[in-house]
Amino acid sequence: MLALTLKAELSGVTNLRPDDTPENPFWYTFKVECTSCRETHPNWVGVSRFEMNEMSGSRGEANFVWKCKNCKREASATIKAAPASYEVAEPPKKVKIIELDCRGLEFTEFKPEGEWLAQGTDSGTKFTGIELTDGEWFDYDEKAGDEVSIKEVEWDIRRA
Ligand SMILES: [Zn+2]
C-alpha cells in the first residue's frame, strides 16, 4: 500500500481537499515504476477513483490498469477511499491524502494537477478551483477581509 501525503503552510484557510466527485472526478497524476523490471516510465499517468478498468484473466477490476512497455507485465492500482482533508496546523503536519493499493507497480512522483477546494478558517468562505501546481496559492477572503494563502506545498509518496 502506498500513501500520498501533503504538507503545506495554510493561512486563513483549512479543509483543503481535491475536488473529487463522481460528476467531477479528480485525476491523481503520477510517474509510474514497474516493480518487475524496475523501469520508470517517462509519461505521467492519471488515476481516478471513479474509473474502473478490467484486468486481464478475470482478475477483477482496478482504478488503474497498466501494461509495462518494457517487460509487458500487467500491473494495477486502486484508490482505497475518498481523499482526506488537510486541516490547518501549526506547525504544518504531514497528512495522508489518499492510499493506493498497488500491484506490480509503484508511483514515484506526484504532480498536483487538477482543482482543489478549501474553506475560510473562521469565515467559512468556500474557495474553489484552487491550483497547487506552482506550489503556492494566494487569494482574498472578502468575508474575513484578509488575504489567504497556501505555501510550502510538499508531496511525498511512501509505504503505508
Ligand atoms: Zn516492467
Cell numbers linked to 110: 506526484
Task: Give 58's pLDDT tier (boundaries 50, 70, 90).
Answer: confident
Tell me the CA–centroid distance for residue 73 and ligand 1, in Å: 6
Tell me the CA–centroid distance for residue 42 and ligand 1, in Å: 13
Instruction: State the Cα angle at 115 between 112 and 121, rounded to 5°.
Output: 100
Summarised one tens digit per residue, pLDDT across range 111-159 is 999 999 999 999 999 999 999 999 999 999 999 999 999 999 999 999 9
Tell me the CA–centroid distance for residue 33 and ligand 1, in Å: 8
Q: Hey, which residues does 79 pair with through a beta bridge?
A: 100
The total of other beta-carbon atoms located within 10 Å of residue 123's CB is 16
Task: Give 66's pLDDT tier (boundaries 50, 70, 90).
Answer: very high
Summarised one tens digit per residue, pLDDT across range 90-118 is 999 999 999 999 999 999 999 999 999 99
Tell me the CA–centroid distance for residue 77 and ligand 1, in Å: 15
Residues measured by CB to lie within 5 Å of ligand 1, the ion: 34, 36-37, 68, 70-71
Cell numbers linked to 60: 477483477
Q: Quick one: DSSP state of residue 69?
A: T
Nearest by Cα to 151 from 141, 137, 139: 137
Determine contact, residues 30/100, Cβ cutoff 8 Å: no
Distance CA 152, CA 90 (A): 13
Tell me the CA–centroid distance for residue 107 and ligand 1, in Å: 13
* pTM, to two decimals: 0.93
Tell me the CA–centroid distance for residue 14 and ligand 1, in Å: 40
What integer is the mean pLDDT of 40-48? Answer: 96
Tell me the CA–centroid distance for residue 46 and ligand 1, in Å: 18
At 59 the pLDDT is: 86
